[in-house]
Structure formats: C-alpha cells, structure tokens
Amino acid sequence: MTRADAKAGSGAKTRRAQKRKSKFNPDSSGGGGGDDSATKTSDSKARKSKTFDGKSEGRKLSGGSKSFTKGDSKGRDRGEKRPSSGESVEAKSKKAKSSNDGKPLSRKEQKAKADEIKALRKPNFALVQELAQIWERMRGKKVSKTDRSTLCDEIFKKSKGKVPELANNHKGSRVVQAVLKYGTPEQCESVMAEVTPEISLLSKSLYGNFLVRKLIDSTDKKDVPKLLANLKGQIPRLARHPVGSQIVEALYHVASGKDKKSMTFEFYGPEFVHFGVAEVGSLREALLTKPVAQRQSTLRHVNTSMIPVLEKGLVSSSVIHRVLSEYLSVGGPSTKAEAAGSIAAAGLLRMMHTKEGSHAVNMMLAHSGAKQRKGVVKALKGQIWRVAQDDFAHLVIAHLFDCVDDTQLLTKGVVSELKQEGIEEVASHKNARRVLLHILNPRSTRYFPPHLLECLPDPEQIRADAEETLAVMKKGGDAEKAAKKAVGKDDSDDDDIGIIDDELGEDEMDEDEDNEDEDDGDLEEAPADGPEFGIAKKPASTRRAEIFHQGLGDALIAACNANAAAMLRNNLASDVLFEVAAGGCDGVFHEAMGDEKMTALYKAISSAVALSMSSKEIDDETGEALESLHTNFFSTRTLRRMALEIKHPAFVPQFWNTALKGSLKTWIDGHGSKVIAAIVRADTDSKTRKAIHAAVGKLVDGGDADAWAEGFFHVKDATDAKKSKVKDAKRKSSSKPSKK
C-alpha cells in the first residue's frame, strides 16, 4: 500500500478514483466530473470556513499526500492555546496586555512590575540594583580617581556585612570585585575577612567562585594556610564539583610544599585530615605507618574519592594527578584497569601535562584494553605535534609505542602527523625528539633523565605482573593475594603495604569477556582466562619493526640523508642521526631497512663531512658562514661516537675513504683529533685497519698510532678502573661479618 493510500481517508480515495475514470473515459463519466468538481468546491469551502479568530486556514492536497498551508497561524506559532467557546483570542490578549484602567502596559511599566515581583522573592534585589548603578558610574573611562574613590567608598558602606550574600549574584559578585580592585587596603581586608569564613560555599557558587579566585590571587603566600584552614576536610568534595575543582587547582598552585601535602592527605582518609603524619610523603609511606588490617580501608577511601572525579572528567587539577599517580603506584593490575575504564579518552588529554599526570596516564594505558587505547589515539588526532612538544605529555606518546599492538593505528594516528610536521623539525626539538629516540632505542638513560624515566612503565614488568595476577585469579585466589603476588610482596615482609585490587569474581570476569566490543577484531584481545590487564600480544621488537616498515624508517633515512650536515651541528638532532646510523637498539632498524639503505646513509654522512671541509656552507636563515664539521664541537662528538659504537662493517671504511683519508693532517692538528683517535680504535676489517694505522703513524709523534690514540682514552680507562676497584672493595666488605 502506498503512503497516500495508507494516510488518506476513504473520501479522498474515492475522489481520486473518480478523477482517473473521468480522465481516461471522458464520455462515460457523464455528470460525474461536474459532481466531483462541485464536491471539491464544497469541500474546499467547508475547510476554509473553519477559521480561528475570523481568519481562514487553508488545506491543500497535492500528489496524493497531505500538506497544509496556513493562512494565518501567528497565534499558534507563539504557543497560544485555542480559544474557548465563550472567549476569543482577541479578548484574552487585550485582557492580558491591559492595566486596571483598560490601557496596555508599556515596556518600562512591565519591567517595573517584574522588578517588584523579584524584590519580593530576593531580599537583596533592591540593594544589588542600587550597587550596580553606582558600579556602572565607577567603571566609566572618564571618571577621575577622586570620584572613583568616592563611589568605591559608597559601595563599600552599602555592602558591608552582606558581601557573601552579594557574591552569589551575577552583578553583586562583580561589584564586590570592583571594591577589591579600587578600594583601599583596609577595605580589601574587610571584604576578605567577610569572604574567608564562607569560602567553602562560595567555591561552589557559579558567581561567587570568581571572588574566591580574586581572594586567592591577592593573598600573600604566607597567609595561604589560613585560607586552607577554612577548607579543611572539604578538598575531596570540592574536587568532584565542576566549579569547586577550579578553586582547588588555584589553591594548589599557590600553596607551599607542606600545604600541598596536606591537601593530598585529605584523599587518604579522615584520620590524615585531622591528625596527619609529618614524616609521610606519599600514599605508600602513609600505608606503611598503619597496621596491615587498616591499609585496605585507606585504599578503599581513596578509591571512593577518586572514582566520581574520574567519571565526571574533572581531572585538570594537579592534586588529582598526584593522588591518582600514588594510588596507581600501590594498586594492582585490576585497580589500574578499573581506573582506565572510569575515565574517557578525552579526559586523559587533560592530565598528561604534569609529571604525576603523565605517569598516571601511562599506568592506565598500560593496563587498559585495546578499545580504550584506540580512543586515546583518536582523541589525539590533530594534536600530536603540540603534545609532543610538552615537557611531560610527550612521554604519553612515547608510551603508546610500548602498549598499542595495532601498529597501523599508530602509523595513521601518530607517525603520519610527525612526518607531516617534518622529521628534521621533530628531531631538533628537545622534547619531541624523545618520541623518535624511544622507538629507536627504548628507555635509554642517555636520552631520558631519571625523573622522566619514572613516568615510563617497563613493559616487561607490567606483563609479568599482569600474568601472575591472572594466574592467581584463575586458580581461585582472591584479588588481594593476586595483587600481592603481582608486585612480589609477601605477608611476612615489613614493607608489605597490603596492596589490594578490586574484588573481581569469576562471574564478573565472564561478564567482562561477554561485553567485549566485537568491532575491534584487528586489535589486541583480552586474555581468555580473565579480564584485560594490558597484556600485549606482540613483542616490542616486532612492534617496532612493523612501525619502521610502515613508513617511519624510510622517512628517517630520507631526513638524515638530506640534512646530515645540519643534524651533525645540532646538539639535539645529532642524537637522532646517531641512533639511525647505529641501526637502533638490537639492530631492529638495520634489519628493517637493509644493508643497501644503511650504506647509502653512511655515504651521505661522509660526503657531508667532506663537503664542509672543501667549501664554505652558508646558513639560509642568517646568511652567515657555517663552521666546518671537523671543528664543530657537537659534530666531532657525534662522529667520534659513531666511530666507536657503530658495528656495521661499511661505516668505518666509507668514512675513512671519503672524509678522512685526504685531509688527515687537518683532522689531527685540530679539534677533530678525537675523531681520528676513535677511528684508530674502531672495530673494522684488517685491510682498513692497516691503512689507518700506517697513515696516522706517519703524522704523530713516535710513529705509533695506538699509543697516540690511547692518550685520548686513558682518563676514562683510569676512571673505570677506579670504579671497579671501589666496587670490589665494597663487595669484599659486605661479604665479611661485622665485628658487632
């Protein structure tokens, strides 16, 4: 059945049938056409006669479907109800718009009547209106300082004693802030004295929080503890409030180290709020101060305080980053997995700009599922370069290469944006280059300082902990024992802090498995014997090799070939050039690219060094002559490191024949002598070694190249020998029993 037949009435269907019959059989229709026309005319008149308020409303049928054409529907467009039989719309509208004497009210009269109603409902409405008028005059551009001071005094006198009430009003809050801006110190102190006791309520006010921020900004650092005293025990509650969380962040930034610790302690439990522990610096230390039986309740209190904050996405505050980082550090794998499932991917982006936040994000990514990691990569779309430049957020991008098995997702979502920005540009940035260095040489202490390396979880340790936890839970052990086993703790150990996990029973595990998203078939899957704890299926070397094969390796080779000289002169980019030339950690990059491409890279490096010695290079930006590579500090240091550490058999012969052999005297007499000493001690074929020793022996004193080169390394060798002696002495002393 067509839509017209289904929707139309029986009369319309009959008229259409008669119309078709009269069209194709005009002779047989007889007077049917006239009757139909008359019927249509009468029906149309009947429909048009149905009017409201003397105005018609037409209705037209077109193409077998119903469509309506309103002649005048202003009344119903405004949401007016149909008039009753006893009173018309015109009568009701006149009655609503008329006063007692029958005349309509003007706009001013309507506003005055509305203000009169508001004054009855709001006690301070009249005062706010009066203060707002004075404030409007005070904020004028042509007002003199004297007049502004007079107006400010008038506002202060009228608002004294009612500041907290006025601060909850939109206009009243701005008026009080004007007093803080233009008032005398005595007036400001008086306002502060009224606001401080009510800071807890005003912090959650939509308008009062601006006054609290003004109070925080104008308070001396030594007086911040007085403000915090009025919020004692309220920090966790404010942290999960949309407006109050901003006040917590403002207070945390101006607070001292001791005050920051006290704000953090409020998430641990009420006993830490009221009593505190001076020697405690973290949640782990706080748990060690309590009996084993009470540690579980403390962790549950932290969990209860943090889960609402994560679910609401209020994770921008630094104190939340700190508490969450400490909580995840002592929690087991399922604790981290639950935290990862409680926060959206977009919320993680607001946490990674601090050290504690980046550590917490990395811990959650390491124990989250493939679907959650995919959401994080998608949330980073278009922001990879900006995030990679941050002091701590770049660690999150680096960690994605440790935990995401879908290398195609990483290539499209992360690597493509880095390539679009330019590999040479990324390699020259102090933070962004660590993303490339982490792929080439993961977790290298040469490029990642200890405070940054703490934020990068060890994938092998995470895998071991998760597998042990799953094994214990599979055998029927409870979550607490599983968590203790995962972190290698024993109940008899004094340092056991009673780490707990969420109580996940077997039924809950089965439900988690049944609820997995079937659309992400190409991503990593949860283990069949339990919930997801971030166990990746691919080894790290396999994952890195796939990323290099999918375009990153060719981009690195191309960037190094085209910018070899510039990268050698740059103290930051030279590290990336070295790792590429060295073939990456465990030779993964070398195996992915092949000998042909690596040999071409060595040739490009050697040619760039030779060219800098034979001709002067000009900087495109400054127009000044560039320093030759054989005298530049950073380039000679990188070349020396290449000669000593690159094990590829083609590098030393290529570098010797192209860059060193023809100008050996220049290298030995200048700053590049350390490069020649490294070449003498380099591991290469016997033919090249003999040629190097013979050529260098002719130019050095004594004619012995090995003895000459040893002078550049004897300090390091002596230091290493001294360190080994100290270690031996300590080992012997520790093996001997003490006299006591």
3-state secondary structure 545-584: HHHHHHHHHHHHHHHHHHCHHHHHHCCCHHHHHHHHHHCC
* Three-point CA angle 457, 460, 462, nearest 5°: 55
Three-state SS for 98?
Answer: strand
In the prediction, which pLDDT does 349 show?
Answer: 87
Q: Which of 48-52, 189-193, 345-349, 420-424 has the lowest mean pLDDT?
A: 48-52
Q: Is the pLDDT of residue 41 over 60?
A: no
- DSSP conformation class of 172: H
CA distance to 181, 428, 651, per residue, from 418 (Å): 47, 12, 28
CB 284 within 8 A of CB 497: yes
For the ranges 19-23, 197-201, 244-248, the lowest mean pLDDT is seen at 19-23
Does residue 2 have a pLDDT over 80? no
Distance in Å from the first CA to the final CA of the chain: 104
Separation of CA 263 from chain center: 23
Which residues is 636 bridged to in the sheet?
A: none
* DSSP letter, residue 412: I
Find residue 65's DSSP bridge partners. 62
- pLDDT, residue 24, reads 57
The residue with greater pLDDT, 694 or 523, is 694
Q: Which two tokens mark 553?
A: 């390796």
Instruction: Kindly report, residue by residue over 100-128, the tens digit of the pLDDT.
Output: 455 677 777 776 777 677 666 777 788 88
Model confidence at 601: pLDDT above 60? yes
Q: Which residues contact 522 (CB under 8 A, 6 or more apart)?
A: 406, 408
Q: In which band, very low, low, confident or very high, does the pLDDT at 14 lie, cut at 50, 70 and 90?
A: confident
Please name the residue that has the structure tokens 């990746």: 536
Q: What is the mean pLDDT of residues 349-374?
A: 90
Q: Does the structure show a pLDDT above 90 at 32?
A: no
Mean pLDDT of the chain: 78
| Residue percentage of the chain with pLDDT more than 70 | 75
* pLDDT value for 724: 58
The label of the residue with tokens 């995401």 reads: 404
Taking the C-alpha atoms of residue 351 and residue 242, their distance in angstroms, rounded to an integer, is 16
Quick one: average pLDDT of 35-44? Answer: 47
pLDDT of 531 over the 60 cut: no
Please enumerate, as own/partner, the contacts of 122-129 that have beta carbons within 8 Å and a separation of 24 or more: 123/165, 124/162, 124/165, 124/166, 124/169, 124/172, 127/158, 127/159, 127/162, 127/166, 128/166, 128/169, 128/171, 128/172, 128/175
Q: Are 401 and 543 in contact (CB under 8 A)?
A: yes
Backbone angles phi, psi at 59, to 5 degrees: -140, 130
As a whole-number percent, the residues of the chain with pLDDT over 90 amount to 38
Distance (Å, rounded) from C-alpha 47 to C-alpha 11?
14
> Mind listing the pLDDT tens digit for each residue in 284-323?
888 888 888 888 888 888 989 998 998 888 999 999 999 9
Q: How confident is the model at residue 385 (pLDDT cuts 50, 70, 90)?
A: very high
* Average pLDDT over every residue of 433-457: 94
pLDDT higher than 90, residue 577: yes
Beta-carbon contacts of residue 460 (< 8 Å; ≥ 6 apart): none
127-138, pLDDT tens digit by residue? 888 888 898 888
Q: Check: CB of residue 283 under 8 Å from CB of residue 330.
A: yes
Q: Which residues contact 178 (CB under 8 A, 6 or more apart)?
A: 135, 138, 139, 152, 155
Check whether 196 has a pLDDT greater than 70. yes
Residue 216 has pLDDT above 80, yes or no: yes
CA 339-340-342 angle, to 5 degrees, is 65
Q: Measured between alpha carbons, how far is 394 from 392 in angstroms, rounded to an integer?
A: 5
The residue that leads in pLDDT, 31 or 222, is: 222
CA–CA gap between residue 682 and residue 644 (Å, rounded): 5
Range with lowest mean pLDDT among 180-189, 211-220, 428-437, 619-628: 619-628
